Each structure stands twice: as structure tokens, then as C-alpha cells.
Structure 1
Amino acid sequence: MFPFELVRLTDFENEVRITVRSSMDSAFWEAEIAVTSLFVKGSTLLVLSRSKLEAWVQALATLSLGQDVTWMQTDRGPTVSIQLEGERDCPEVVVEDESISMVTVRIPIALEEGWITDHQERIRHFIDQL
């Protein structure tokens, strides 16, 4: 089951990926957020919980209604925001790691049609494997 690519937002020049690396126990998983563009490349580790997975399901439902989302907004760990209409006429993904590195990265990504459905299938598949 591991590694499992939970999030893959890419247009082949810019990408944000969240890959679940391993299970810490039955309720927590170690994962990595990786951001790659022609300008910047970086990653950070995070811990996913059942509540964060459920919040991702809700975030995808909100995105499917045409609304922007912020996922994992807490005082500890990275936050991922998806703005469907960014400044460059395409979606933008913002990854903020205020609690550890104090770095924020904003990446425009021209996402393909059907990306929300793809991610709903990814999270459903991951949860079904638990």
C-alpha cells in the first residue's frame, strides 16, 4: 500500500504532491508534501490523521462546488490552500509551513479537467484500504 500518492496536482511544469510514506499506527500516517516548479523545489514531512483525511474529503466536495479551500489549517504543520481562479487565470496551490520552516509557496497549476474526481477516487481508495 505504501507509498501512496494521495494528492497529485500537476501540469507537468509545476506540481504539488502529497505522498503517504508509512503507517505510524492505526490512526496516523507519515506523509510528505513535495512542491516542484521551474523556480523552486522543496518538501516537508507531515502527519496525517483520520480527521485530516476526512477534512480532505470535505475539501474536495467544496472544490466540486466551485469554492476555494484551505486544508489542514492548524497551528502545527503545513497548510494547503487551493484557489480555483488564481492570478494567472488558472488554479493556484498555496503550501504554508508556518510552524516549522516559516515558508510559503504559491504555485499556479493548469489542472486538467476531472482532477477533483480523480482525487475523490484516490482518497476513497486510501480510506478503503484502512
Structure 2
Amino acid sequence: MTGEGHGCVVDLIHLSDGDNSFRVRVLGRRMPGVLPLHDLLDTEVLIESGFVTGRLDLGLSPDDLDGWSHALDVLAAGGDVCWIDDNRSPEIRVQALNKEHETPAVHVDDVARSSISVFLPLCLEDGWIDDQRKLLQLVRREWPSEVLQTALGTYEWRP
């Protein structure tokens, strides 16, 4: 098995304008070597601004990484996305352009645990979506999907 990532911390998402920052940081595999949990990644959501600082734990699956890849395609086309919208907490929404602030923006809603919502407008440089694609590729290289679901509830190692 590769990509254990011991001691390695990698940002999956890093959006910052110097004043406000939103990150999803991958800490490593949840249970390396254990089927079917091997591919689950422990991550933390980090929000920093002059007004609020917050941290939330979040577990991500390979499907969540695929969802983020699709979300980046939608954002590149100028659309808004809701990533992790399967009733887990937190719910993360990203706007390619928030009309009120005329910048991209991130909404994080932690409805299930704290009932706290944070809205971060971010003055991002051109190319920010490509930067996020590079981070996604780095995460996939560091922690490749190594588990294959062959039937409902049946898993094996990828060849």
C-alpha cells in the first residue's frame, strides 16, 4: 500500500486573500490498511478572518474528491456549487462570484453540530481555480484510492 502520508499534511483547498482564509487540510488516512475504511481521509476545515477563527473535523471519501473536481469545473464555468451537500456537516458552498461583494465567496454551515454559519468573501487572484485543481492532484497522488467496492458491502484492494 502506498500513500500512507504519515506526518504529511496537504491542503485540498486553500483560498486566501491575506485577510480571509478558507482551507480544507488533509491530515491522513482514517484507518490505513483496514478495509473498507482505508480510503477515508481525515481532514480539517480551517477558517480565519479578522473577525472569526474556526476549525471543524471532516472525513472525506474518494467520492468527495470526485465531487470537488466536478465543483471546480462548475466554478470555472462561472457557476456556484454546494460541495458536501449530503446532510453531513459542514456544508460547504462556493460562489464563483458573489454579486454583493463582487468577489468569490465561501459559505460554511455547520448545522448538525454547532448551528454556526460563516460567510467569507475572498478577493482571489485570477487562476485560483487552477491552483485548487493542483492541490486536488497533489492529494490524489499522496493518498490514491486503493480500495475497490466489488458489491454492496464487499471490498477488496485495487490490483
TM-score w.r.t. the length of structure 1 is 0.95
Task: Kindly provide the CA deviation profile for residues 23-56 of structure 1, in whole angstroms up to 9, marking residues without a partner as x.
Answer: 1132101100011111111110000111101100
Alpha-carbon distance in structure 2 between the residues aligned to 1:72 and 1:116: 18
Task: Kindly provide the CA deviation profile for residues 37-79 of structure 1, in whole angstroms up to 9, marking residues without a partner as x.
Answer: 1111111000011110110000001111111111001212211
Letter in 2 for 1:52: D
RMSD: 1.1
Q: Does 1:61 align with 2:73?
A: yes
Secondary structure, counterpart of 2:89 in structure 1: coil
**2:102 is matched with which residue?**
89
Letter in 2 for 1:46: L
Give % identity: 31
**2:155 is matched with which residue?**
none
Secondary structure, counterpart of 1:74 in structure 2: coil
The number of residues matched between the two structures is 130
Query: How do 1:16-31 residues align onto structure 2 when only pairs under 5 Å count?
Result: 16-25=22-31, 26-31=38-43
TM-score w.r.t. the length of structure 2 is 0.78
Out of 3, 13, 16, the position equivalent to 1:10 is 16
- After TM superposition, the structure 1 stretch with the greater mean CA deviation from structure 2, 77-86 or 36-45, is 77-86
Alpha-carbon distance in structure 2 between the residues aligned to 1:75 and 1:124: 26
Deviation at 1:125, TM superposition (A): 2.0
Letter in 1 for 2:121: P
Out of 35, 39, 63, the position equivalent to 1:51 is 63
Letter in 1 for 2:125: E
Alpha-carbon distance in structure 2 between the residues aligned to 1:59 and 1:53: 10
Q: Which structure 1 residue ranges, 5 or more long, are not aligned? A: none
Deviation at 1:96, TM superposition (A): 0.8
